[in-house]
Amino acid sequence: MRIGMGYDVHRLAENRELIIGGVKIPYEKGLLGHSDADVLIHAIMDALLGAAGKGDIGKHFPDTDDQYKGISSIELLKRVKEVLDGDNFSILNIDSTIIAQKPKMSPYIDQMRKNISEALGIHISQINIKATTEEGLGFTGEGLGISANAICLIQ
């Protein structure tokens, strides 16, 4: 068994959609990035790749490559699953946390879990997503960005 940990952060910006866990969340700002900037999926991908000893998402999907500009992170997650499958790894569980002052994530967590389970071909019970604020502290607390972390167990 192998454990992986992932972390991602993106700045909030005008004129961008807010997509987290593959869910489009109504909000006045979205996350800035080369892809759809889905911090949760990026953290999960890094956790999975790390556990498998396969580097990180920057190695597999560099932001200097135009083929990934605006791409859905759910599609990239499916490609990470292919990398794991190539080495006969199976995912036992994923636990993650979204850190955002606003908007509230709880109404969207069930759909996020469903999106991730479908992309990875695992049961929804193997995925846990939590959300928290930072009580107004730091860049997430000040509403400047959103971050996420994830940990996974694979075998």
Cα four-point dihedral sign 48, 53, 55, 61: negative
Q: Detail the residues annotated as belonging to a binding site.
A: 8-10, 34-35, 42, 56-58, 61-65, 132-135, 139
Specify burial of residue 79 (Cβ count, 10 A radius: 0-12, 13-18, 19+): middle
- Which region, left, alpha or beta, applies to residue 44 given φ > 0 means left and ψ of -120 to 50 means alpha? alpha
Q: Detail the residues annotated as belonging to a binding site for a divalent metal cation.
A: 8, 10, 42
